[in-house]
Each structure stands twice: as structure tokens, then as C-alpha cells.
Chains A and B, each alone.
Chain A
Amino acid sequence: MNTEIPGIVLMYLAVVILALPLGRYIGKIFCHEKTWSDCIFNPVDKLFYKLGGINPATEMNWKKHLAALLSINLVWFLIAMFVLTNMSWLPLNPDHNPSMSADLAFNTAISFVTNTNLQHYSGETGLSYLGQLSLMLWQFISAGCGIAIAGVVFMAMKERNAGKLGNFYCLFVRSCTRILFPLAVVLSLLLLFNGTPMTFKGKTLMTSLQGDSVAVSRGPVAAFVAIKQLGTNGGGFFGPNSTHPLENPSYFTNILETVAIFLIPIAMVFALGYVLKRRKLAWTIFVVMTVGFLLLLIPTVVNEMNGNPAITRMGIGQPMGSIEGKEVRFGPAASAYWAINTTVTSNGSVNAMHDSLTPLSGMNALLGMMVNCFYGGVGVGFLNFYIFIILAVFISGLMVGRTPEFLGKKIEAKEMKIAMIIALLHPFLILTGTAMSSFLYAHAPETYAGWLNNPGYHGFSEMLYEFSSASANNGSGFEGLGDNTPFWNIACGIVMLVARYLPIIGPVAIAGSLAAKKYVPESAGTLKTDTATFGLMTFAVIAIVAALSFFPALALGPIAEYFSIY
């Protein structure tokens, strides 16, 4: 008679069923094949190219792709900084919210341009509607940027493709208009007609039934929430994100929003299969990702449904499991499901407060971000997985004593060096960041007393989580952390910046360099990359890199906390 488990099974089945056709569609967009949307978007895209001064037919090599990506991202950062530091006098500010301080604007601008959406402010009080709409722009185009660059890597992986990688601007515009835009329109309309507001009116004053007077914040929420979920952005309109009853009013909208988290990340895997005409490879990757996802998901659902043992000891019942920080309309299973969805992709929206998750659930959320490639963020999630494939190919090659090859291209020292740097960058950023903040806190607990909302092991987890979230470009948080201080704003800003662009540059460089190499036809001795054995190998590489780098830190935080209350 439990109706919570069927709810999450439904959400997962729905997303896979929708992702299959969407993956084909994305593949067609990358390959410039005919689709149903051509009649609408051919003229729209032409207008984009014309007004943008772009010739979409110009071929670019991988270096030109990167130059185009980095310069447009710089422009975005500068515009975002301007808007955020000048909101108070700009239009669309009915609640008279102030402009951001420089360090907070630095953090927020980077956060949204890098598709992270870490928020050291609360939407109701920290942003005008103009600020919200400008952030919504980055939610579209930073996601489009990730999809486009994944498209470049797909093209580079094609057999006998000597450096023909298309035009970055063209791929970018097509990703935004033909993939993100139609999905966002459909989702926002569904949300709108199910109780999510879409208005430009400011706060309204109401009297509660009991007679208290309350101000209720609202705004153009429906449009914002749709793209926040679809583009693995995750930055909420309101402070508490999708726990807020106006951002996520019912179990039905919760299903829609949860499906939207996974939709494009999973579709990207099938798009790869379509572009390369290697469906079996796509399914192998999908299965590895799914196994990783389930290994994190199942214990989390069980833990949350079982409740908090410290509360059990008080002698009360926990029929809804651990419900601190959760909403009754979603329940513990759907909240645990969302928590893992949002952390394995780099989404970072929440429908329950992660700070209040039971210890091992918090650890699984952390692990989702530390691995960061079980589905992963739109576009970039696949790039992270690509790095692990390269590592697995190399190690397997050594084991059988042959020069490692991937899809007919030899992997040599240069590619391996890049792959290793990228694989180690993520643990490096997380662990040094956490070490630095722990050092500061431990040596001057009075100065930094405002940082931690919880004592002991859990306080350490709050800092570890913040840097994991920044480095995974995730954006969720153990929100008890008092993170609107210059230290956290600047440190997380730098981490997000490095963790966004280097893991884009690395895989693109590898793919570009492989594409230029001579194609070696498959022979009996070729390592097959679409088999269960190779899938297992990739999984082992991921598990070893994540476990060896992060286990000590996890032992100090969530694991220690677990043993203190169980």
C-alpha cells in the first residue's frame, strides 16, 4: 500500500521513455538533419545569425571552438556583473530590493555563467525581477553552451572525420532555440496551469486565518523554474528553491520538475549513439551511468524513509521518515530521489534541504557531485565521462599489452596527460578548498563563528559540500553554511570558474587531437568499447578515482556523523 515507491519508479520510467526520442532529435540537430522544428526555427535561427553577425557555414577547428566559447562567456560575465551590481535603480524592481555587493555579484555572475547556480543570496530579497530575468538568460545560454561543446566532441569522435567540427555559434544557437526553448515553453506552461505563478506584481499583503498579517513574495516564477530544471542549472527563484509551494506546488509538478532534471542529460547519451551510429556504445554508457545512479539512490531512499534514529529515540513515530527539511506533499522517497537526481547531474535545485538529510544520504549526495558523470550536467556531464573512458581505454590497453585505441584513434601520451590533469583537478579543488576553510575555522572559531550552522562532523560536511558543489558546477548546498562572506564568495567563485572551463578545454583538446589522427580500422585485436567488460572497467576507474580521492574526507564528515547517531 506504499504509494511513494511507485511515484519514483514512474518518474524514472517517464524520463527514459522521453529521453529516447529526444536523444534522436538532439542527434539530428547536431548533424543538421531534417526535423519537425525546421519550419519554425529555420527563420528564427537566420535572424540570430544575421543580427549576431555570424556566418554559420564557417568551419572551425577545436581551438577556434574554444576561443569562441571562452570569449562569449567573458561577455556574459561582464553583463551579469553590471546587472547584479545595479539592480536597485534599474527597472522591474517592485519590491525595491538592493543591488548586490561586489563579492556577492562576482560569485553570482560566475555561478550562473558557468551553469552552476550556487546561490549565496535569497531570491525574494536579493534580486529584482530584472535580476531574475537576466539570470534566466544565463540559464538558457550556459546550458546551450554545454550542449554545443558536447556536440563538438561528438563530431570529433566520428570515424574518418578529419577536423570537420562545424561552427560553434551555429551549434550554440541551434542548441538554445531548438532543444532548450521548446522544452522550456512546454514545461513552463504545464507548471503555470498547475499553480506556479507568472506575474510581474510585487509582494502582496495578506491576512492569515488566524489573523496574522503576512507578505507573500511572487514573480515570474513559471518561466524561470522550467529552464532552471531543464538546463541542469538549479538556481531557484525563491530562496528555498523547489521546496517552496509557489515554485513546486504539488506532487504532479514535482514529477514534472524531477523528470526535467534528467531529461537532457540522459538524452545526450542517446544523441551520442545517434551521431556516431553506435547505439550499442550509447547503451553501454547508459547502463554504467544507471548502475552508478542506482547505487547512490537506493540507500538514500531507504535511509530517508527509515527516519532519523535520534528522533526515534524520543519515542515519537516517523511514518513519513526523516521529514525535517522536507515537504509533506512530496514525502521522503520523492525527496531522496530528487536529491540524488540533482547531485549526479549538475543541476543543484532541491525539493528538500540537503543539510537535514540523514548522514549517509548526505554522503551519497556528496558522492554524486564528486563523481559528477552519472548522467552529469547537460553536455559537460558527457565530457566528464569521456575523460573516464579515455582513462579506462588506456588502462585496458596496458593490461592486454596493446597501444590503446578508442573508436579507431590511438591514444598517446599527450591525450593521457590531459585526461589525468582533468581527472585529478576535481578532487584537488574540492579537497584543498575544504582544507583551507577548515584550517581557517579551526584556528579562529570566534572570527568565523557565523559560518557553520551545525557543530561537529556535520559542520565539516557543510564546508566539504560547498566546495564539492562549486567544483561540480552543481549549485546545491548544505544551506546552513553562512556563505555570503567575502571568503566563500571569492573562493567558490574561483573554484567554479576553474572547474567549468578546464574540464571543457581538456576533453575538447583530446577529441580534437584524436580527430586529426589517422583512422585505424578495427581488427580482431581492437579493444571493443561497447561491451559489458569495458563498461565494468570504466565503472571501476570511476569508483577508484572517487573512492581513493574522497574517502578520507567523507570519513571525517558524514561517515563519522553516521556512527555518532546510529
Chain B
Amino acid sequence: MKTNIFPAIRLTLVCLVFFSGVYTLMIWGAAQLAPNNGEGELLNANEKTCYANVGQKFTQDNYFWSRPSAVDYNAAGAGGSNKGPSNPAYLNDVQARIDTFLVHNPGVSRAEIPSDLVTASGSGLDPHISRQAAVIQVKRIARVRGIAEGNIQQLILSNTEKPLLGLFGTERINVLRLNIALDNLK
């Protein structure tokens, strides 16, 4: 045992310096060359700085709603609901969200609602919704803001993020960017 313990301690300390220290500093050094010094993707909106890909809570009728969140979009304690697919309390929650949505969006039929708009994401910070989820909110926003529906449809079209190279992954809309564009539409 003794023949092994001393080299083990010394080797571990060397690894500590190299992998926790040198490696981290290398990447951190490279981060100083990255956009925003490696603080992530930021954007400016109405003189506010936000993380472009950290989802925000949108519940007011004059904005496109984002997905429900198990942590209420708390970006300092992210998390999902962890509800199982058969959990009755969870299914009641989803039912309630559908009802709320229908109340705020008269004229939308139940079958048009896509499930991403009434279920919580894994991180609780999902910045995106599906295109369908944006389209069914157009009527409400047009009415509240007094803008023609066609203009809003146009906005959705120009804010749709295509799958990677048009071939891989999902089509989606960043709710924050869409809502900023909506605010800028005068």
C-alpha cells in the first residue's frame, strides 16, 4: 500500500494543476477572444441586456407566450417538472393550461393547440416555441395591439429558425426575439 500511496498523492496533485488549472485557463483564455468574452450570447432590447437563448416568462396578452415552466423561468435554479406521463395531478395541470389558453384566445379551437405550449420544458428555460404555437397566438396579439394580422404573420415568418442547413433538427421560434421584433413594429 505504502509504495502506491505517495506516488498516488503526488500524481493527483500534478493532475489537479494540469486539468483543473492549465486546461481551464486555456479555455478561459480562448473565451476572451469569443463574443462577449465568453459570457454567452447576449442581446440588447429596449436598453435591457438579455441572454438571447435563456427563455423568459411571457404571460401578458400583448406578447407571444412562452412555454410553461416548472421553475417559473428562474435562471438561477433551472429545472423540469419531472412529472410522469400518467400522473393525474400533472394531467390536470395540462388541462388547466389548455383552458386558460382558450379563455385568452377566443376563436382558437382545442385541436389547434400544439402540446409544447401547454407542457413544461426540461430546463424550465426553453427559449423557443414551435411555429404552430406562435401562429395560434396571432389573433390575440393583433386584437390587443391593434396591428393587422398579416404584419404579425410576416414577423413570425421572418423569425422562424430553420432546421440546421435546412436538413437536421426542428423548426422553431425564439420567443424573446419575436417579442422584441413585435415591440419594434410600430
Contacts and interface: CB of A to CB of B under 8 A. Distances in A.
Interface in B31-84: 31, 34-35, 37-41, 45-46, 48-60, 63, 67, 73-84
A240 B57 contact: no
A250 to B, nearest CB: 7
Contact of B53 (A250, A325, A357): A250
A523 interface: no
A314 B19 contact: no
Interface in A448-496: 453-458, 461, 478-480
Contacts of B112: 317
B168 A208 contact: no
A72 B8 contact: yes
B181 to A, nearest CB: 11
B56 A328 contact: no
Nearest to B67: A328
B78 A239 contact: yes
B120 interface: yes
Q: Give the residue among A188, A189, A246, A316 with the most B Cβ atoms within 10 A.
A: A316
A71 B87 CA distance: 46
B100 interface: no
A474 B93 CA distance: 32
B170 A328 contact: yes
A75 to B, nearest CB: 5
Contact of B122 (A3, A140, A243): A243
B148 interface: no
Nearest to B170: A331
Size category of the A interface is 35 or more
A133 B20 contact: yes
B19 A137 contact: yes
Contacts of A561: 84-86
B1 interface: yes
A190 to B, nearest CB: 11
B4 interface: yes
Contact of A195 (B9, B53, B125): B53
Interface in A322-358: 322-331, 334, 350-353, 355-358
B128 to A, nearest CB: 4
B106 to A, nearest CB: 17
A141 B15 contact: yes
Given A223-B24, A310-B91, A316-B110, A458 B4 contact: no
B169 A329 contact: yes
B130 A320 contact: yes
A217 B77 CA distance: 8
A6 B28 contact: no
Given A71-B5, A185-B27, A454 B87 contact: yes
Interface in A108-149: 122, 124-125, 133-134, 136-137, 140-141
A21 interface: no
B158 interface: no
A6 B167 contact: yes
Interface residues of B, number: 103
B83 A456 contact: no
Contacts of B45: 209
Given A195-B40, A208-B56, A324-B83, A216 B115 contact: no
Given A140-B19, A243-B123, A317-B132, A353 B80 contact: yes
Contacts of A76: 12
B19 A141 contact: yes
A199 interface: yes
Given A137-B20, A250-B53, A52 B10 contact: yes
Nearest to A136: B20
A528 to B, nearest CB: 40
Interface in A167-194: 169, 172-173, 176-177, 181, 184-185, 188-189, 192-193
A291 interface: no
B77 A353 contact: no
A243 B80 contact: yes
Contacts of B12: 72, 75-76, 79, 141
Contacts of A307: 115
Residue of B13, B79, B110, B171 with most partner-chain A CB within 10 A: B79
Given A52-B10, A320-B114, A207 B67 contact: no
B129 interface: yes
Contact of A7 (B130, B168, B176): B168
Contact of B1 (A71, A196, A319, A356): A71
A68 B77 contact: no
A75 B8 contact: yes
A351 B83 CA distance: 16
Given A210-B57, A316-B110, A359-B85, A223 B23 contact: yes
Contacts of A478: 82
B23 to A, nearest CB: 6
11 contacts: A47-B14, A48-B11, A68-B4, A122-B77, A181-B19, A207-B48, A245-B54, A255-B168, A314-B95, A328-B129, A355-B83
Given A217-B77, A328-B67, 5 more contacts: A7-B169, A176-B19, A195-B52, A254-B169, A330-B170
Interface of B: 1, 4-16, 18-20, 23-24, 26-28, 30-31, 34-35, 37-41, 45-46, 48-60, 63, 67, 73-88, 90-91, 94-95, 98, 110-116, 118-130, 132, 163-164, 166-172, 176, 179-180, 183
